[in-house]
Structure 1
């Protein structure tokens, strides 16, 4: 992370310093098509709503989550040991590792700008990988642990942008538009050999939105560099894990016992928000 952030800040410093060094014959007109790429760092916010995320249960399969998984014969809370925002590495809550929220991110892009006086408007499409993921874990009294992990396999966007062009060949702009991503979900259970776990809607190709801003500097008539910040949000919902009867069958297993369940229990994450911030160094070849 430190190296990538240093790289992005270095590009920003170059972009700020370049106007003083630019040759007088470098055009300051931004009209025309361009292609290029970006490299940087993506990370996820950890607002209160994120750190409070837990695993929710539907024990009677009525589609409403928030039921308590109960043990026999006492009817006690099977998950009184609690939850954590992160990945369980064992059956104990003490084994939970915090999310590694930061990841390298890269994109390729193509776009077109049109300049009217000092104002520049344009559109750009992009696609690449951000590698980000997050997890939430639940800990039962068995003891056992259950972890949901969400990963952004790849993502892209179609953005508009608008900005102000300085006579130094510098463009300051804001941007926003439609995002699209492939999100993969996975589930793991540690120390539970008594149930079957059936996943539904494991992969989600989801639309979202993105917004941000940046600075770009022409360093030659057909080449520019810059730094871009973006916030991107997807709503990933529908991934469900059903805990069913294992082999040999059990009448006292908390997920399937006939006293407190309908014969199986559905599990879901309580948050469908999958969001990230990114800072990337950009380079574009202009035609």
Structure 2
């Protein structure tokens, strides 16, 4: 009987498997970003006040002057971001602020000569020289990968200027506007935690800073008819695509 017991296979307990904890996105982070921006609906749309259409009307009908200039704005953007995440199961909630230097700019010019009008010269430029956002983030984490949507407030510094008229006969309006505009932003992004602290990502944002109106001022020596005026209207919205790197504390 003892021999038979010895011949029976011995029980070997299964190896203990230690679960590897998933990476936790909760915490504060700081980082840098860089990318490119493209403006939408760019250009200057002119509006005229002209009682009786006696001053601007004839040149507009004849095609000697322009009612607007269309052009794109684009350029480098880069800056810094800071934020905080809270992870609940696979869901990640966060808040983030960023501020960017922007070189998004564009412009156009048009010259005309339609007898019996004098030679006309019409130019306009636009620029967004900085951009900042304050956004909420909502994402889904799969271990070290985070896919998220984002949206919130946007602000930016815009510069617009134009020169419109007939230099040879000293009938020229100029306009120059510089202001901080407020609006909104939405977008989406993807991040991956390369290490326990270092995170790389990519993000696309659409922003809309609204519109601005820049009044024209007659140059020295030009006295337009009473009641007439000219204003250039600009839209400031666009898309930013950027890479980002963050350090999680």
Q: What does residue 198 of structure 2 align with?
A: 223
Q: What does residue 95 of structure 2 align with?
A: 123
The 5 Å alignment of 1:64-83 reads 69-71=56-58, 77=61, 79-80=63-64, 82=66, 83=68
Report the aligned-residue RMSD. Answer: 3.1
Give the paired residue count. Answer: 225
Kindly state the Cα deviation for residue 263 of structure 1 after the two structures are TM-superposed.
Answer: 6.0
Q: What does residue 230 of structure 2 align with?
A: 266
Distance 2:184 2:99 in 1: 14
TM-score normalised by L of structure 1: 0.68
1:157 lines up with 2:121 in the alignment: no
From the CA coordinates, give the structure whose radius of gyration is larger: 2
Runs of 4+ deviating beyond 3 Å: 24-27, 75-84, 134-141, 188-191, 195-200
Distance 2:231 2:64 in 1: 16
Kindly state the Cα deviation for residue 70 of structure 1 after the two structures are TM-superposed.
Answer: 3.8
The 5 Å alignment of 1:88-237 reads 99=72, 101-135=73-107, 137=109, 139=111, 141=114, 142-167=118-143, 169-189=144-164, 192-193=167-168, 194-195=170-171, 197=173, 199=175, 202-237=177-212
TM-score normalised by L of structure 2: 0.78
Q: Structure 1: where are the runs of 5+ without partners?
A: 1-23, 61-65, 87-98, 250-255
Go from structure 1 to structure 2 and tell me whether the alpha carbon gap of 1:78 and 1:135 turns closer, same or farther (over 3 Å shift): farther
Q: What does residue 39 of structure 2 align with?
A: 44
Distance 2:54 2:98 in 1: 42
Kindly state the Cα deviation for residue 267 of structure 1 after the two structures are TM-superposed.
Answer: 2.8
Question: Match of 1:77, SS?
Answer: helix
Distance 1:159 1:106 in 2: 17
For the 8 Å contact 1:245–1:263, the answer to whether it is kept is no
Q: Structure 2: where are the runs of 5+ without partners?
A: 1-18
Go from structure 1 to structure 2 and tell me whether the alpha carbon gap of 1:187 and 1:76 turns closer, same or farther (over 3 Å shift): closer
User: Normalized per residue, which structure has more strand?
Assistant: 2
For the 8 Å contact 1:225–1:284, the answer to whether it is kept is yes
For the 8 Å contact 1:122–1:162, the answer to whether it is kept is yes
For the 8 Å contact 2:139–2:146, the answer to whether it is kept is yes
